[in-house]
């Protein structure tokens, strides 16, 4: 509650009262928080009054303990665990019950008055620490589960040859994946055109162009000349 104004603490107290009445499962926590909030409100009011020049408050508004004594007691009780405060409460009760005249009753009664506040602070801090630890544990479990899920997906991708999204379409992962260069000639797609087959069948040096190409040949391989045509009979008849 450090740094909160009087109005903010008043509103906070109303909220805590509501939780005390409605949240039966955690009622002890809300009751302890209510004790701490009331003390914080008293301290805020005291500082506010001093700031407005109302006057220095010499006694605590809740316990009636002089402020100088209260500061000493607060320093003595601060930082002790709930178990330590429980033991101190027993010791204070023994001193007040059986100490006699040698015991400074006013001092021990002042401690007795402040014990519930510090016991409540210790309990709130303990439950808060447990809640934080539990939240971290849940977060760690979620992260571990995420890592396990990611590893499982990677294993399945390798077993099933699922393509890697980063490798692009057609890429496969895993030990069974084969590259395009590993295909046999029968598996490779023949991209040649029909005219390519014709050209290479006639001329092995065919380079794919469609312009005609004359091949050299020997004159001895030339076919014999055709015979001369027979003379026309009509002119012969005319001469006769």
| Residue in 47, 36, 43 with CA at minimum distance from that of residue 12 | 36
Q: Do 171 and 163 meet the contact criterion of CB atoms below 8 Å apart?
A: yes
Rg from Cα positions in the chain: 52
User: Can you tell me the distance from the alpha carbon of 115 to that of 221, in angstroms, rounded to the nearest whole number?
Assistant: 129
pLDDT at 141 over 60: yes
Band of residue 162 on the pLDDT scale cut at 50, 70, 90: low
Query: What are the helix (H) ranges across 52-186?
Result: 67-77, 82-98, 105-160
Q: Per-residue pLDDT averaged across 75-85, rounded?
A: 89
User: What is the DSSP track for 150-177?
Assistant: HHHHHHHHHHHTPPPGGG-TT---STT-
The predicted pLDDT at position 36 comes to: 93
Q: What is the pLDDT of residues 180-221, one digit of tens each?
A: 455 555 455 555 555 554 445 445 555 555 555 555 656 666
Q: What is the pLDDT of residues 31-79, one digit of tens each?
A: 999 999 998 998 888 888 776 655 555 666 566 677 778 888 888 898 8
User: Can you tell me the distance from the alpha carbon of 102 to that of 96, in angstroms, rounded to the nearest whole number?
Assistant: 10
**Sequence ranges of the domains in the chain:** 1-57
Supply the pTM of this predicted model: 0.52
- CB atoms near residue 101 (< 10 Å): 5
The predicted pLDDT at position 88 comes to: 92
Q: Do 57 and 148 meet the contact criterion of CB atoms below 8 Å apart?
A: no
| Residue in 12, 31, 11 with CA at minimum distance from that of residue 21 | 31
pLDDT at 117 over 50: yes
Q: Do 81 and 100 meet the contact criterion of CB atoms below 8 Å apart?
A: no
């Amino acid at each position: 509650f450090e740094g909160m104004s009087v109005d903010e603490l008043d509103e906070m107290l109303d909220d805590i009262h509501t939780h005390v009445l409605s949240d039966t499962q955690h009622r002890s926590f809300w009751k302890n928080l209510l004790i701490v909030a009331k003390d914080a409100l008293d301290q805020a009011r005291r500082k506010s009054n001093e700031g407005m020049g109302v006057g220095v408050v010499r006694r605590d508004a809740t316990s009636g303990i002089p402020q100088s004594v209260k500061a000493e007691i607060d320093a003595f009780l601060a930082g002790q665990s709930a178990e330590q405060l429980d033991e101190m409460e027993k010791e204070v009760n023994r001193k007040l019950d059986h100490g006699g005249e040698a015991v400074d009753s006013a001092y021990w009664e002042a401690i007795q008055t402040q014990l519930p506040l510090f016991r409540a602070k210790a309990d709130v801090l303990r439950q808060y620490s447990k809640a934080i630890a539990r939240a971290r544990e849940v977060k760690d479990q979620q992260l571990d589960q995420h890592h396990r899920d990611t590893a499982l997906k990677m294993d399945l991708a390798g077993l099933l040859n699922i393509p890697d999204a980063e490798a692009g379409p057609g890429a496969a992962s895993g030990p069974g994946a084969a590259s395009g260069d590993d295909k046999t000639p029968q598996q490779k797609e023949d991209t040649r055109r029909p005219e390519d087959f014709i050209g290479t069948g006639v001329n092995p040096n065919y380079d794919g162009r469609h312009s005609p190409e004359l091949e050299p040949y020997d004159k001895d391989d030339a076919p014999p000349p055709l015979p001369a045509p027979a003379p026309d009979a009509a002119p012969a008849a005319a001469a006769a």
